[in-house]
Each structure stands twice: as C-alpha cells, then as structure tokens.
Structure 1
Amino acid sequence: MDNSEEVREFLTSRRANVTPAQVELPSGPNRRVPGLRRTEVAMLAGVSVEYYSRLERGSLAGASDGVLHALAQALLLNDDERSHLLDLAKAANASPIPSKRRSTKVQNVRPSLQFILDAITGGPAFVRNGRLDILASNALGKAVYADLYESKEATLPGKPMNLARYCFLEPERADRFYPDWGIAADQTVAILRTEAGRDPYDKDLQDLIGELSTRSEAFRARWGIHDVRRHASGMKHFIHPIVGPLDMIFEGTDLVADPGLNLMIYTAEPGTPTAEALSLLASWTATPASSKAPSAETLTKEND
C-alpha cells in the first residue's frame, strides 16, 4: 500500500507540534521551522538523520518496531497517535497484491446483538463501524439521536445513518445538537483519520472522506491537521430538542466476533438531571421495538 503521502504529512505535523523545550533541547535563534528540526528528531530517536529523513518522506516499509516506538517517544506521541503510526507502518508493509481499494459489503448486525441492545434499557446503546455509520441501536439510542434519524444528509436511502455526514453536511442541525460543535467536529475527523490509517483499502471510507472534503470547508481544514483519536471512553454532551442538555458517560468496545464494529453504551451519573432526562426519554420509548426512531414531534405530542 503506497501511503507515503499520509505518512509524510502525519510525521511532519507531529514534528511541528513538539517544541525544543518539551524535549529539553535549547531553542536557539533563527529557527526556520515550527517545532523540532529533523536532526533533533533523529537524535532523540537514536537513528541517523538520513534514515529519519527517509521515514519522513513517507517510507515506513521495513521500519522495525523498535524504531517506530523510538520515533513515537521522540515525537511525544500519545497512545492514539502511536497506534496510528503502527497502523501506517503495517499498511506500508502490506503485500501489494490487494492494493485495489475494495467496497465494503453491507454490514448487518447479528440478531443476537440486536437482542442485547434491546435489553439495555438504562441508557442509549448502539453499534457503529469505523466510518461512523450507526448500524443498530436500542430504543433509547434512537430517542437520543432522533434529530439525526430525521436528517436527510445523515440518512441516505439504502444506507445507515452516518454521524460524520450529520456533523458536517447538516451544520445547522448539528450546531443545535452539540453544545460545542467545534469539539464534536474535531473528534469526528480524528476518528475517521484513525480508521483511514487502520483500513486504507476501505473504498466506502475513502468515498466518504472525498465527499466531505469536497462539500465542507470545515472538514477539509480539520482533515489536514492529521489528528487521530480512538473513541473508547469519556463524556458525551448533547442538547436534546425535548429534554435539553444531556451529559453522559460512555464506554466503547470492539466486537471480537464482528471485526470493524464497535459497541457504544452511554449512561448518566445517578441523581443528575441527565439521569432524570434519560428516564423521561425511556418512558416515552417504552413501546415494542421499532426500526424507526421516534421524531422530536412525536415525543412532544406524547408529552402533551
């Protein structure tokens, strides 16, 4: 896989993010580049300047794990960035035989997995892939994301709802839903960038990135930053059109039996306004499971 451009831009951007002071090197006058010089990175990683220059030109093929980890340490990469670097090296060392980008088959969630989602009643739960397609959800998940399910850009005929399309192609809706749209946008792009490094042959992912880059200047600017993120745990903040602010804890886990899929579960700290809001949403959705999300209008009528 020729991912030399991706490698070059990632390493260059990470080098620019590290100041000499962060690695206990003198700043010195007349520095012509932001961050570290190539010579400084090479010294910190314990490799020759020529070898590091070759790596930064995009040639990760053949780089040993020891070199990659030394490079990650020299550039002060966090865990997500380190994993991304290893993914890029894996792609660079892959056999050239499957170099043609492949279109991903339609991913169907196993019935047993849907049963498990439906059994989770205390918080929103859903299954997504690396492209941020939501493939299945429980009733409370559909209620929380009701506005997304109504979005024309996020839910295209014959395709699952996509969080990235909602965020960047429905900016007015997304700005109302996310208390800080900028943070949500940054995280969305970083997740897609991580997935692109992990699975560079996914044609559907490349098509999505191409469309978003063409149609959204905000996406295009963030894509060039090369930030990465593995979405495993943390906090989610939404503004629901009916129950208002939702501040939820989330945990995500990869599904071993379904490579490429991730199970996400949200919950709220007991006794908080968010816990009360989720209980209210749960009471509205306490009906037989439906494949269609309740609309904000429906929830409003049921509350009257």
Structure 2
Amino acid sequence: MTTRDDVREFLTTRRAHVQPEQVSLPGGSNRRVPGLRRNEVAMLAGVSVEYYAKLERGHVVGASDAVLTAIADALLLDDAERAHLFDLARTANASPMRKRRTAPKPLRETVQWMVDGYTAGPAFARNGRLDVLAENALFRGLYWDLYQSTERPVNLARFTFLQPDLAAEFYPSWERSADINVAILRTEVGRDPGDRALQDLVGELSTLSDEFRIRWGAHNVRHHANGVKEFHHPVVGDLDMRYEAMEPMGEPGLNVLMYTAVPGSVTEERLKLLATWVATNEQAGDGPRIETGDARRRKDAR
C-alpha cells in the first residue's frame, strides 16, 4: 500500500469510531454510515467539505500542522493516533531522497549491559518490528520455548500469529496481546515506511494469518509505554507483571522494556523461582543458543 492509501484508510476508520454524541452533534437511527459524516468532520475542523474530502482521499501533501491538528481534534485522536497522522503527512511531504532509509545502527553494547544488569524481572530491547535485539536471562526463561528455535532474532509478532496455539497458552489474554502487536507494527510503518524488513514481515503475517490480516485492516496504532501483562509459564505458572518502556535518546524506534512484580506478591516469588530454573538449565547447557553482543553487531552491520 502507498502512503496515500494509509492516510485514506486511517482517516476513514477514525471517522467511523466517533459517535455524533461524543462531539455534541445529533445522532439518530437514519445514518447510513457509522460514526461521523465527512461534512461533520469538516465543520468541526473548520475546513471546507471539499478540502476534507481531499485529505481523506489521501492527498495530504501541503497540509499544514494547524490543519492536521484541527482534523486530529475533530476526530478525537489520542496521542498515538495524532502522532501517526503527522508521521503519514511527513512521509507524504518528504522528498524521494529523504524517503531513502539509512542502514540501522548496530545495537550499542551498553544497552545489553543495562538489560543484563536488571535482575528484578524480565528485560529486553526491541525495534519497531518487534525483533528482540537484547535480553536478560529472565526474559529467556520467560520465553523459553521460543528460544529453543535457532531462528534469530526472536520476533514477538511471528510468535503471536504464526504459533497461535503455543501463544494462546502463554498469553492468557491472547486477543489483547495480538491487538497490541499489530498496533505497534502499524505505528512503526507510519514512523519508518522505508523499512523493507518491516514491509516483508507485514506481508508474511498478512499472508499466513487471518487474525493478523483482520487487525491490520483496522489501522489501530499504539504508544506502548507502560501497563500490565499476564503470562502463563509452563514451569512456574501464572505471572502478573507491570512493565515500563523507554526509548534511549538518539535511538528512534528502539525500546527497552522492563517487567517487574508487585513487591510481596506471588508473582515476585515465582520470578525468583524462574531465575533459579533458567540459571540451572543454562549452566547445564540445556538453554537456548545465545548470541554474543559481537555476533549481533556483525549481523546488524549486514
């Protein structure tokens, strides 16, 4: 799909999500389309119906920040949706030279050290494609079955949609996890549309998973900053954890996520058990193959 297609479908789906009553407009049962009409969005944004219709057809080249902000306000966009709209407009306005993607930088070894140094829970660094670029021992223990494969990097979206039976057992709230995965990938497409590996991943998942394809068409986006995540580990049982995500300065698209348990909770005790279990298995040579930082940097350089 082109940026124009993405803009058209994003604005169309956002308009369908807003009910007239939410913006103090009369509703009624005689509406032929879900959500707002184009002329209502235009009125709320203070632009002509013709101009808004042009924008919704994907023609955002030359649209000012003020107009985009007015459209975002009219459609009640949240922070992630608002940023996505501006990303799409930035891509549409970029020159062909600026649209060319530079080669990704190798992961700094200090990021791996930071992740390794966190022992209160699982921690990892990932890119916008949901490739795991660095992880600590507890993260490997949490995703133990996934790490038995030699395929690297581990990709959380492939796990969620291409191993659905295993993922459904691992994620008690699989539907929510699937929604989050797709929203993160959709956000990354808007931020970095020139990422060929991301395009290939989306194509692969769209071809092989009906669940992914349906969610992709919804055009939902997300800033994955913090929250609660539940897991079912085959050895230690249910884990109820909180997470915080951080983006290192100067590394757009790279996220470091750290999980922790409520102090004194059952999950905290189970994480201690998991730490002992993974240490025992890795020391015995039964653990997954682990790439060193040097090996990862050589792969990134390619």
TM-score (ref. length: structure 2) = 0.89
The answer for unaligned runs of 5 or more in structure 1 is 296-304
Partner of 1:31: 31
Indicate if the aligned counterparts of 1:13 and 1:225 stay in contact, CA closer than 8 A: yes
Structure 2 residue 273 is the aligned partner of structure 1 residue 280? yes
Counterparts of 1:227 and 1:257, CA distance in 2: 26
Counterparts of 1:117 and 1:28, CA distance in 2: 54
Counterparts of 2:73 and 2:186, CA distance in 1: 21
Instruction: Give the deviation of 1:135 after TM superposition.
Output: 0.7
Indicate if the aligned counterparts of 1:130 and 1:261 stay in contact, CA closer than 8 A: yes
Indicate if the aligned counterparts of 2:91 and 2:99 stay in contact, CA closer than 8 A: no
1:220-239 pair list within 5 angstroms: 220-239=213-232
Indicate if the aligned counterparts of 1:178 and 1:239 stay in contact, CA closer than 8 A: yes
Instruction: Give the deviation of 1:98 after TM superposition.
Output: 4.8
Counterparts of 1:91 and 1:118, CA distance in 2: 36
Partner of 1:250: 243
1:126-205 pair list within 5 angstroms: 126-150=124-148, 152=149, 156=151, 159-205=152-198
Instruction: Give the deviation of 1:66 after TM superposition.
Output: 1.1
Indicate if the aligned counterparts of 1:10 and 1:226 stay in contact, CA closer than 8 A: yes
What is the total number of aligned residue pairs between the two structures?
287
* SS of residue matched to 1:256: coil
Partner of 1:8: 8
Instruction: Give the deviation of 1:285 after TM superposition.
Output: 3.6
Instruction: Give the deviation of 1:243 after TM superposition.
Output: 0.7
Counterparts of 1:222 and 1:76, CA distance in 2: 21
Partner of 2:89: 89
Indicate if the aligned counterparts of 2:180 and 2:222 stay in contact, CA closer than 8 A: yes
Instruction: Give the deviation of 1:247 after TM superposition.
Output: 0.8
Counterparts of 1:39 and 1:238, CA distance in 2: 46
Instruction: Give the deviation of 1:34 after TM superposition.
Output: 0.8
* SS of residue matched to 2:97: coil
Indicate if the aligned counterparts of 1:146 and 1:293 stay in contact, CA closer than 8 A: no
Fraction of identical pairs, as percent? 59
Write out per-residue CA displacement over residues 25-51 of structure 1, whole angstroms, 9 at most, x where no aligned residue. 012453111110000000001111011
Partner of 1:301: none
Change (3 A) 1:259 1:20: closer
The CA RMSD measured in Å over matched residues stands at: 2.1
Indicate if the aligned counterparts of 2:239 and 2:267 stay in contact, CA closer than 8 A: yes
Indicate if the aligned counterparts of 1:123 and 1:268 stay in contact, CA closer than 8 A: yes
Counterparts of 1:55 and 1:231, CA distance in 2: 28
Amino acid at match of 2:82: R
Counterparts of 1:8 and 1:259, CA distance in 2: 26
Q: Whose helix proportion is higher, 1 or 2?
A: 2
The answer for unaligned runs of 5 or more in structure 2 is 289-302
Partner of 1:40: 40
Change (3 A) 1:78 1:198: same
Structure 2 residue 115 is the aligned partner of structure 1 residue 117? yes
Counterparts of 1:240 and 1:38, CA distance in 2: 48
TM-score (ref. length: structure 1) = 0.89
Amino acid at match of 1:177: F
